[in-house]
Amino acid sequence: MALYFTEWSITSDASPERASRVTDRGRTAWRLSWLPDRALTLEQARAGMELDELLSDPDNVHDYAAMARADTCAGTIGMLRAHVVILLAKRMAARLPVAVSAH
């Protein structure tokens, strides 16, 4: 897993989520694709993307160090890990194709 930084975005090789730099009321801010209503600092955007990567890797479920790091990242953006898991799961579900009924 790796995060890729440009002047205007942070992307991941493990997740379709991203962070984008925007102008908010004349100030530069960052927005996470999975948390679009919250203006963040660059540090918070980086933490949000790292958190997404940590939670996207099923091998981390029982990795106490990874979950401790996830808790730290969640705290950096003022959230609880459990709430982030729900938000990311909803976004993942929304990306799944809708099954066509055979009726």
Q: Looking at the whole model, is its pTM more than 0.85?
A: yes
Residues with Cβ within 8 Å of residue 71, at least 6 apart in sequence = 81
Distance CA 39, CA 42 (A): 10
| pLDDT at residue 103 in the model | 58
pLDDT at site 16: 94
pLDDT in tens, the chain (103 residues): 799 999 999 999 999 999 999 997 789 999 999 999 999 999 999 999 999 999 999 999 999 999 999 999 999 999 999 999 999 999 999 988 876 666 5
